[in-house]
């Protein structure tokens, strides 16, 4: 039995009747862009994320662009962001003729390494954009301390992390603005592209609202430069249906993650706490002990400071919520593991094979291969396994069996 990386058809089967009623409602109304469906979704999503304001837009990429535009980021400005993330985080900065300044990641969480920020700040730095990678929040308190000290805006790339929590606060509710994506592979996926900008400040919300429609408050009168970033009504209608189920789906993702961790531990193929700690020390120095050990590094839950644990049951820390958009293992035997998964028809993906500071288009950003060892090691070792909510235990057992087969070289 083949196991896909993600099974969107299984998810659709669960909402089919409601979704079809929503299609009809939108089609009959012929209110196709923004309108009551989007407004209702915005109210519900704002409440869910603990934000005063939420604006539906065209994609997660555009949400980032809008947030940067609203923050006034432009030519000559610098924005500190991780190298180990999806392209859009840095691409949006470059599109505004500002410079992405790439920061290395923490070896265990793979989120922005907050201890490196002081080395990257210059008089031109305008903002920091932490990315809550794979569905786990960045350690935000040190970022806010640093941002306050240097008068920087904090824009959260929460594209993979709707519903994730840091010290009881939800992703997207902490910085000046938060950016969500409803791309179909995200935990809350639409019927095509969609995104959202969240914020707490009324004036900023007003500015974002203008930016969404070519910078105008009154039609054909343009106070600032904006774009067409409007969300389609069908996305609002579908996302409202899915939002009501999101907590159940997240709980299923967390159960799947805990079960993978247990199975790999029982098989004796995962690094223990001491080995993981040693890995973290060495990885920062450019020595990847995962590559040399033959053992897996399982995804860690990092709740800030040195509070680090492996999920094997309920959440290991109060107020910390990892929503597992991806379940990422790291292995030095990735080629063999991928070959075994492929032979067993198990889906997998590499997020991300090339860190952004090594991308052709960012050659001029002044950061070279070899300078961000943790990002480079992650690009060589990480592998995403199926974690979607509908994944059955028997399917998960198949994934584990195939992976162990590849890992042990049998």
Ligand X SMILES: *Cc1c(COP(=O)(O)O)cnc(C)c1O
| Residues of the shown chain interacting with ligand X in the complex, contacts defined by CB under 6 A | 59-61, 85-86, 88-89, 131, 157, 159-160, 181, 183, 193, 195
* Own/partner long-range contacts of 308-317 (Cβ < 8 Å, ≥24 apart): 308/108, 308/109, 308/276, 310/261, 310/265, 311/254, 311/257, 311/258, 311/261, 312/258, 312/261, 312/262, 312/265, 313/258, 315/254
Beta carbon of residue 233, minimum distance to ligand X (angstroms, whole number): 18
By beta carbon distance, the residue nearest ligand X is 60
Rg for the chain (alpha carbons), in Å?
21
Joined together, the tokens standing for residue 55 give: 């604006």
Beta carbon of residue 178, minimum distance to ligand X (angstroms, whole number): 12
Beta carbon of residue 195, minimum distance to ligand X (angstroms, whole number): 5
Of the pair 60, 172, the CB lying nearest ligand X is at 60
d(Cα 227, Cα 213) in Å, to the nearest integer?
6
Of the pair 110, 117, the CB lying nearest ligand X is at 110
- SS3 string, 268-322, reads CCECCHHHHHHHHHHHHCCCCHHHHHCCEECCEEECCCCCEEECCCCCCCCCCEC
Beta carbon of residue 88, minimum distance to ligand X (angstroms, whole number): 4
Beta carbon of residue 89, minimum distance to ligand X (angstroms, whole number): 5
Beta carbon of residue 135, minimum distance to ligand X (angstroms, whole number): 10
Of the pair 234, 310, the CB lying nearest ligand X is at 234
User: How many of the other CB atoms lie within 10 Å of CB of 243?
Assistant: 17
Of the pair 181, 396, the CB lying nearest ligand X is at 181
d(Cα 159, Cα 164) in Å, to the nearest integer?
11
Of the pair 195, 386, the CB lying nearest ligand X is at 195
| Contact call for residues 108 and 133 (beta carbons, < 8 A) | no
Of the pair 101, 276, the CB lying nearest ligand X is at 101
């Amino acid at each position: 039995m083949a196991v896909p990386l993600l099974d969107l058809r299984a998810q659709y089967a669960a909402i089919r009747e409601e979704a079809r009623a929503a299609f009809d409602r939108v089609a009959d109304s012929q209110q196709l862009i923004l309108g009551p469906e989007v407004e209702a979704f915005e109210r519900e999503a704002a409440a869910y994320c603990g934000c005063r304001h939420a604006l539906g837009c065209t994609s997660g990429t555009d949400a980032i662009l809008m947030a940067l535009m609203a923050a006034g980021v432009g030519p000559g400005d610098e924005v500190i962001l991780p190298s180990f993330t999806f392209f859009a985080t840095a691409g949006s900065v470059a599109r505004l003729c500002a410079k992405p300044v790439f920061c290395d990641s923490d070896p265990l969480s793979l989120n922005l390494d907050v201890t490196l920020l002081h080395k990257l700040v210059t008089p031109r730095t305008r903002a920091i954009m932490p990315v809550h990678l794979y569905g786990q929040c960045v350690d935000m308190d040190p970022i806010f301390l640093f941002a306050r000290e240097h008068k920087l805006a904090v824009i959260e790339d929460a594209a993979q992390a709707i519903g994730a929590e840091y010290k009881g606060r939800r992703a997207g509710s902490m910085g000046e603005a938060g950016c969500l994506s409803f791309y179909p592979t995200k935990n809350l996926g639409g019927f095509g592209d969609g995104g959202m900008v969240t914020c707490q400040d009324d004036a900023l919300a007003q500015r974002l609202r203008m930016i969404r429609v070519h910078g105008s408050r009154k039609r054909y009168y343009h106070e600032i430069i904006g774009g067409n970033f409007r969300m389609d009504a069908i996305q609002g209608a579908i996302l409202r249906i899915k939002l009501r189920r999101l907590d159940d789906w997240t709980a299923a993702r967390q159960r799947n993650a805990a079960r993978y961790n247990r199975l790999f531990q029982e098989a004796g193929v995962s690094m223990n706490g001491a080995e993981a700690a040693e890995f973290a020390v060495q990885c920062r120095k450019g020595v990847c002990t995962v590559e040399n050990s033959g053992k897996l590094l399982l995804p860690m839950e990092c709740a800030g400071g040195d509070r680090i644990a492996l999920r094997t049951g309920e959440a290991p820390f109060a107020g910390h919520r990892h929503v597992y958009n991806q379940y990422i293992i790291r292995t030095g035997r990735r080629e063999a593991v991928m070959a075994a998964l492929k032979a067993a028809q198990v889906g997998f993906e590499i997020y991300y094979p090339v860190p952004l500071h090594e991308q052709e288009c960012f050659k001029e950003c002044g950061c070279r291969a070899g300078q961000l060892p943790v990002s480079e090691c992650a690009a060589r070792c990480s592998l995403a396994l199926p974690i979607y909510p509908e994944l059955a235990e028997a399917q998960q057992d198949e994934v584990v069996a195939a992976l162990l087969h590849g890992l042990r070289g049998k």
